[in-house]
Amino acid sequence: MSSTTAPSGLSRARRGLAPGGSGASPGRKSKLSAQTTRTFFWLLLPSVVLLVLIHGYPLIHAAVQATHDGDLLQTGNFVGGENFANVLSSPAFWKAAQFTLWFTIVGVFGSWLVGLGLALLLRTKIPAGNTFKVLLLLPWVVPIVVSSTAWNWLVATPDSLIPSIFRGLGLGTPLFLADPTLASITVMVFKVWVSFPFMMMMISAALASVDTTVYEAASMDGASKWQQFTQITLPLIARSTYISWILMTIFCVNDFPTIYLLTGGGPVSATTSLVVLAYRTVFQDFATGPGVAIAFLMTMTLVVISVILYRQIRKSSVE
């Protein structure tokens, strides 16, 4: 008969003691504990210092800039929340916020839908599937400077390839980057094109972990393909889906090059997102305080969205 009961065994295991090990005497326990705490403290200290330097210092510096009227070299005078108030009362901010919202919604769900469709397609046995997979990764792999230049040449002028095709089909000559509405749509489509391979890979990895016998059982129970997709596939990949949504939301909200290289935020601010507005405010208008205030507001919004989605991940894990 073992001298160690199950609960006490667990407790010993948590303390790192093997079965039969004597461990420290009760009198020594507190001393060891204090030593361990000190050791942990000293081991953690370098990381904590580095984290404070890497994240804390810029954050504090940015907070100082957002509450002052200075520039990149000088702090300037303390203005409290004036920069935030000015930003929040500016129509340009709300226009940019609106575009950012649409850009993010289309970017996240558009790329997710395309990625999901292709991941499901690649799960089936198709000829040269692996080659196909590699080719589909290209939009994600190619540097954004290169792909934005390519897209520019495809759509920028009335004689570019895509407008020429439209003209050939008798659909007029759309000005994809010069018309405010079309420019917004073009930028969003470009974002989906750049991002779907990431979604495809995330979902492919999640699908690979789903046991195929679940589908066999569902088929035997008479579940249709659609029911299998909605009742089995989607719930089983929910965790990966939420993670990919969080990441893609962050990618979209913080996406500067996709927009800036293609349209520069124009025409007439039609494609100016918050990050582009922050950049232009700081580096083109040289108004550091308001620009950093915009960045702060963006960060806060992203944290809130991330927390909400993270809760969904935990919920889906429990389920």
Partner 1 sequence: MNVQSAATRSFSRRNFLGLTAAAASVPLLAACGGGSASQGGGGGAGGTIKFWDMPWATPAYNDSAKKIAEGFSGANNAKANYQIIQWNNFYQTFSSAIASKTGPAVSTGGGFQAFQFEQQGQIAYADKVIEKMKSNGQFDDFLPGVLDPFKSDKGYVAVPWQLDMRVFWYRKSLFEKANVALPTDWPSLLEAGKALKKVGAFGFATGAGSGNNYGNHSMIMMMVNNGGGVWSKDGELDLLNDRNVEAMEFVLELVSNGIVDPAAVSYTTDNMSAQWKDGKAGFGLFQVNVPQRVGDTSGDLLVADPITGPHGDKATIVFPNNIMMYKNTPSQEASEEFLVYYLGQLKELWKQKLMSALPVFKSITEIPEFADDPNNVKIVKDWQPIAKTFASQGSTLNANLAALDGGQALNQFSQSILTGQATDAKTALQTFQSGLESVLKK
Interface positions with partner 1 (CB under 8 A): 39, 42-43, 45-46, 49-50, 53, 71-74, 92, 152, 156-159, 175, 177-178, 180, 183, 260-269, 280-281, 283-287
* Residues 124/182, Cβ–Cβ less than 8 Å: no
Calpha distance 110→196 (Å, rounded): 8
Calpha distance 116→131 (Å, rounded): 18
Closest residue by Cα to residue 313 from 252, 242, 237, 223? 242
Shortest separation between residue 6's beta carbon and partner 1, angstroms: 34
Shortest separation between residue 153's beta carbon and partner 1, angstroms: 8
| Residue count of the chain | 319
Q: Residue 202 has which token pair?
A: 């995330």
Residue 50 or 60: the one with the smaller Cβ distance to partner 1 is 50
Shortest separation between residue 280's beta carbon and partner 1, angstroms: 5
Shortest separation between residue 96's beta carbon and partner 1, angstroms: 11
* Residues 148/262, Cβ–Cβ less than 8 Å: yes
Q: Per the omega criterion (within 30 degrees of 0), is the bond before 267 cis?
A: yes
| CA of residue 47 relative to chain centroid, distance | 25
Residue 87 or 118: the one with the smaller Cβ distance to partner 1 is 87
Shortest separation between residue 268's beta carbon and partner 1, angstroms: 5
**Coil, strand, or helix at residue 120?**
helix
Residue 119 or 294: the one with the smaller Cβ distance to partner 1 is 294
User: Which residue do the tokens 């972990």 mark?
Assistant: 209
Shortest separation between residue 145's beta carbon and partner 1, angstroms: 11
Residue 99 or 196: the one with the smaller Cβ distance to partner 1 is 99
Residue 93 or 196: the one with the smaller Cβ distance to partner 1 is 93
Shortest separation between residue 40's beta carbon and partner 1, angstroms: 11
Residue 3 or 47: the one with the smaller Cβ distance to partner 1 is 47
Tell me how crowded residue 262 is: count the other CB atoms within 10 A of its CB: 25
* Residues 176/248, Cβ–Cβ less than 8 Å: no
Distances (CA, A) of 107 to 36, 100, 156: 48, 10, 21
Residue 35 or 230: the one with the smaller Cβ distance to partner 1 is 35
Residues 6+ apart with CB under 8 A from 232: 210, 214, 215, 218, 223
Residue 117 or 180: the one with the smaller Cβ distance to partner 1 is 180
Shortest separation between residue 206's beta carbon and partner 1, angstroms: 37
Q: Per the omega criterion (within 30 degrees of 0), is the bond before 174 cis?
A: no
